[in-house]
Amino acid sequence: MNQHPGQEQENTDFEAQARAAQAGARRLKRRILIVFVCMLVFMAIAIPLISFIDSQESQKTPEGAETHKSPSISFCTPDYDYDIMQDSEYLSLNRYFFYEDQTSGVTVMLDDTNRNAYGPAVVTLTKMIQAIIAGDSEAYNQLFSEDYFSVYEPEEPFTMQQVYDIRISKRGVSQVTPESGKAYTRHEFIVEYKIHKNNGTFRTDIGHDESRKQIFILSERESGTARIDDIGYFLNG
């Protein structure tokens, strides 16, 4: 059957429109597919990255005196009247103070008769640990500087702490000249000890018979006197 020329033109236009529509549909599908793939790639990168950032944030430790409490740590029941010096189990532990100078490699055992020979910063740190053992928050707070208390609150009352395996390590010393004020000596130490039967009234970041290294920054601004300016924490103990 012969078609009218006008009808042939209409058929041709219809077929062209159909092909154009099909091509457009294919392009749209490709675009949707590309967007979908990009979303999958983004999610594959973003989700692990967010998880990593969250894990890093959760591992951050305070730079000052406040400690963070781990939900997985169980503490003993506090007893503010308990005298740990009557506890034979605690008295059998290694309660000696050991001092190590990392710059010279010298390690000695400290006591009240020789600690002055190693400088005022070592004296301050030994007094600090003695105050922790005695449960003396007042004596403890007296060892910190005004700079420290401009940022952090004083330590609240705590019980006697069964501290043992005590090690004080000298990390470095430097002279600091501030823009205003007098120059002073800056000391950096690593302090590590364990707490037997930890009840969480002083340290909430370690459990029973556990330890975690701390970095102490002390300033010696007056002859023969050193005060604690800051306390930092190692991420992995």
Residue 225 to residues 100, 155, 191, 218, Cα–Cα distance (Å): 20, 21, 19, 10
Model pTM score: 0.69
Is the per-residue pLDDT at 86 higher than 80?
Answer: yes
Helix (H, G, I), strand (E, B) or coil at 107: strand
Of residues 226, 206, 191, the one with CA closest to residue 61: 206
According to DSSP, residue 115 is labeled: G
Helical residues (DSSP H) of the chain, grouped into ranges: 5-59, 88-91, 120-134, 137-141, 146-149
Is the per-residue pLDDT at 185 higher than 80?
Answer: yes
> pLDDT tens-digit profile of 1-43?
555 555 555 555 555 555 555 656 566 667 777 766 667 766 7
Of residues 129, 117, 103, the one with CA closest to residue 224: 117
Distance of alpha carbon 96 from alpha carbon 80, whole angstroms: 24
